[in-house]
């Protein structure tokens, strides 16, 4: 890269320099020159200058906290892409690097292809070479496609002018494409590997490989491969071993690409054959991988037994892990207590999705909610049970809703997270549903049912009478109340169950969920009595803080990561406002954060812990350069979230929990706490340690 140059000025004694007015502020001459000069005086060769010219140049003057301003500390450059205003970078004085900008230009999808091509023809950078190669391949592919299309047109004309010549050419083309089919053992091994992957990933029974029609297909595609085709026994042994070993290598490589330490997850359940198992997974943010399944056999599922399994998994490589995650049960809590004494530097955390599932289950057991869900389950089941009736309703719905019809769905009453969806579909179809008893198809189906008897002697038409009774009652009002209460909670659950959610999101989401339960929507309040409202508050509190019988979700790590993530803090503050944000911060205290740091240090108040606490104090106080960095984060988040908030549906804008979930879905594209800390110009061992 051509060397950059810039006027440095006499910065050794800024007080002796004459001061010049810069937009109402008196600044030294050197600072004024830097502010007034394009790119602050940096120059490059022709090619690199073109790279920088793709960005709008805006100068930024940062007023000094004390003393006279200098070009080094108080003059910055903001470069904004001319093709993508969302891409904006704030650069220190004399630090514009065209090479880094070049890489970002090629990565940006909004930069026109002709601009990238111009850069690729003059630059020898790796990103330019890769782009040029891909561009040439794409162009050649288009030319080949055009050539094939031209030949097809010529053949069509020839078929009309001289059919005999056309047929002769067609036969000859087949012969020209013919080649002797020879297959080496190495090539056969490659084909067997890919065939095995296809069978395993698509869950195809192994005996299909010996099906005569499958063999006929292989013979037509590649005759020479027929004799190398593996049997089902080879597929289930040799091929399975080969694919498994390579999958382990691929998984290890994927995990290593993601920064940070791993999290070990375990989940005990009973499989389809009724056998007790424990599944283990290894996770990092954005990736979750299966490790193995252990069959418990005759062993009792005690805390000591599970601790023994985890200890065996962590043995000799505990330093690669930062946390262990399991379900929030008393058994797992006892297991955590055992393991914490052995692995003092690991975090032992309950699964947030499991807690939310239990929370919805607790809510769904409140009498009025349970009765309402049961009634809507009956309506959905009733509609799906009578095909003629379902078709008539869907035809009527098509007239009312056009192509936006929604079919009735039934979920097991134990799938509490989907209760609201079943209610939602019924409410959506209510304009049609209310008129179902008047339909001729309904009267026909009902008449046939009334004439039949069940084995117990009761009429088969009892369900029709119940259906009509429900439609005449207050079920719609109850359904709207239940839907408005459960939908935000289910949305939060499904949002948090992804493998790309940072732990810093959990605390604000759950706090908003708790406030949603404390102050439910008006339609929900209308159907709940005082005892039910108190029950909602108690459920929310118990599932977060825990009781003697229930394991709470909140962990010191959730508090610490929330405090260390400036992006999520800025986003939450934007959604909640200052007052409610302060309430959220008061839901825990500094001791929770310090306890997480101490846990990370193995439970010791040693020098490492002291350095972390000291750097954290600087971060919270916005000392040592943090102030400007945090200011930039807040400015960026506010700027980007303006468009995100406009996308919130009108019906959701009054529910802060739904708004927060919507904002957090988009926040990763703006920035994360990990990006913030990795992007620091680490100038001390303490900053590096905290990062």
For position 8, what pLDDT does the model report? 47
Give the CATH number of domain 262-350: 3.30.420.10
Using alpha carbons, select from 549, 564, 567, 575 the residue that is nearest to residue 653: 575
**In what order do the strands lie in the sheet containing 88-92?**
55-61, 75-81, 88-92
Collapsed DSSP state (helix, strand, coil) of residue 434: coil
Q: How far apart are CA 689 and CA 679, in angstroms?
A: 14
pLDDT score at 175: 47
3-class DSSP state for residue 20?
Answer: strand
Q: What is the DSSP track for 304-351?
A: HHHHHHHHHHHTT-GGGEEEEEE-SSHHHHHHHHHHHHHSTTSEEEE-
Which pLDDT score, from 0 to 100, does residue 174 have?
62
Write the CB contacts of 513 (distance below 8 Å, at least 6 apart in sequence): 356, 359, 488, 489, 492, 540, 657
CB 352 within 8 Å of CB 360:
no
Name the packing angle between helices 387-401 and 367-385 (round to 10°): 100
**pLDDT value at position 1?**
41
Burial profile 294-304: b = 16 or more Cβ within 10 angstroms, e = fewer: bebeeeeeebe
Report pLDDT for 592: 94
pLDDT value at residue 286 = 84
pTM of the model: 0.67
Can you give the residue ranges of every domain in the chain? 14-123, 128-176, 185-248, 262-350, 360-480, 555-690
Pairing of strands 321-326, 262-270: parallel
Specify the pairing of strand 276-284 against strand 25-28: unpaired
pLDDT of residue 150: 67
Determine the pLDDT at residue 7: 47
pLDDT average per 10 residues of sequence, the chain (691 residues): 46 62 83 84 84 86 84 85 83 85 84 83 82 80 65 65 66 60 86 94 94 88 88 93 90 88 89 85 89 86 91 90 89 90 92 89 93 92 88 89 86 80 91 91 88 75 89 92 94 87 93 94 93 93 83 90 94 92 92 93 86 90 87 92 90 92 91 82 56 56
Give 624's DSSP letter: T
The confidence score (pLDDT) of residue 3 equals 45
């Amino acid at each position: 890269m051509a060397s950059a140059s810039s006027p440095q000025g006499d910065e050794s004694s800024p007080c002796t320099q004459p001061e010049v007015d810069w937009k109402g502020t008196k600044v030294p001459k050197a600072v004024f020159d830097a502010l007034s000069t394009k790119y602050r005086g940096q120059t490059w060769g022709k090619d690199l200058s073109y790279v920088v010219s793709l960005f709008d140049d805006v100068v930024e003057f940062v007023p000094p906290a004390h003393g006279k301003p200098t070009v080094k500390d108080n003059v910055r450059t903001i470069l904004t892409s001319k093709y993508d205003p969302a891409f904006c970078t704030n650069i220190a004085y004399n630090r514009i690097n065209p090479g880094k900008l070049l890489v970002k230009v090629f990565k940006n999808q909004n930069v026109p292809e002709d601009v990238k091509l111009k850069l690729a023809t003059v630059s020898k950078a790796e990103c330019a070479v890769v782009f040029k190669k891909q561009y040439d391949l794409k162009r050649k592919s288009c030319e080949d496609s055009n050539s094939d299309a031209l030949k097809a047109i010529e053949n069509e004309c020839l078929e009309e002018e001289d059919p005999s010549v056309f047929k002769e050419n067609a036969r000859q083309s087949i012969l020209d494409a013919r080649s002797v089919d020879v297959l080496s053992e190495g090539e056969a091994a490659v084909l067997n590997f890919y065939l095995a992957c296809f069978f395993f990933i698509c869950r195809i029974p192994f005996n299909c490989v010996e099906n005569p029609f499958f063999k006929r297909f292989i013979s037509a595609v590649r005759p020479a491969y027929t004799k190398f085709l593996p049997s089902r026994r080879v597929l289930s042994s040799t091929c399975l071993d080969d694919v498994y070993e390579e999958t382990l290598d691929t998984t290890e490589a994927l995990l290593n690409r993601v920064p940070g330490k791993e999290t070990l997850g375990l989940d005990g359940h009973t499989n389809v054959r009724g056998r007790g198992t424990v599944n283990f997974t290894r996770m990092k943010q954005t990736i979750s991988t299966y490790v193995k399944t252990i069959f418990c056999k005759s062993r009792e599922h005690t805390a000591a037994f599970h601790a023994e399994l985890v200890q065996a998994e962590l043995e000799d490589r505990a330093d690669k892990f930062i946390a262990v995650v399991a379900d929030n049960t008393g058994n797992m809590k006892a297991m955590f207590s055992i393991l914490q004494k052995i692995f003092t530097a690991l975090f032992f955390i309950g699964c947030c999705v499991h807690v939310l599932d239990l929370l919805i289950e607790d809510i769904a057991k409140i009498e009025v909610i349970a009765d309402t869900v049961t009634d809507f389950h009956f309506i959905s089941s009733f509609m799906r049970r009578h095909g003629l009736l379902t078709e008539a309703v869907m035809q009527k719905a098509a007239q009312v809703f056009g192509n936006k019809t929604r079919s009735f769905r039934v979920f097991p009453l134990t799938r509490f997270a989907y209760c609201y969806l079943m209610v939602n579909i019924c409410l959506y179809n209510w304009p049609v549903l209310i008129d179902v008893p008047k339909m001729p198809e309904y009267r026909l189906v009902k008449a046939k049912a009334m004439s039949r008897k069940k084995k117990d002697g009761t009429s088969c038409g009892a369900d029709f009478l119940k259906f009509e009774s429900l439609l005449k009652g207050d079920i719609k009002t109850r359904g709207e109340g239940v839907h408005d209460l459960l939908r935000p909670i289910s949305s939060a659950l499904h949002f948090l169950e992804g493998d790309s959610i940072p732990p810093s999101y959990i605390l604000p989401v759950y706090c908003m969920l708790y406030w949603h339960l404390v102050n439910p929507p008006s339609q929900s309040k209308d159907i709940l009595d005082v005892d039910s409202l108190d029950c909602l508050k108690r459920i929310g509190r118990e599932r977060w803080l825990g009781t003697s019988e229930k394991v709470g979700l909140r962990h010191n790590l959730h508090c610490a990561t929330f405090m260390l993530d400036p992006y999520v803090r800025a986003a939450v503050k934007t959604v909640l406002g200052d007052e409610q944000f302060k309430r959220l911060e008061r839901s825990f205290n500094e001791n929770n954060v310090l306890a997480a740091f101490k846990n990370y240090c193995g439970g010791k108040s040693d020098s490492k812990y002291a350095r972390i606490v000291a750097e954290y104090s600087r971060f919270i106080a916005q000392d040592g350069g943090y102030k400007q960095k945090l200011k930039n984060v807040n400015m960026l988040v506010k700027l980007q979230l303006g468009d995100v908030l406009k996308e919130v549906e009108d019906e959701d804008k009054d529910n802060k929990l739904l708004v927060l979930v919507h904002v957090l879905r988009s926040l990763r594209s703006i920035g994360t706490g990990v990006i913030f800390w990795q992007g620091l110009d680490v100038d001390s061992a303490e900053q590096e340690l905290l990062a």
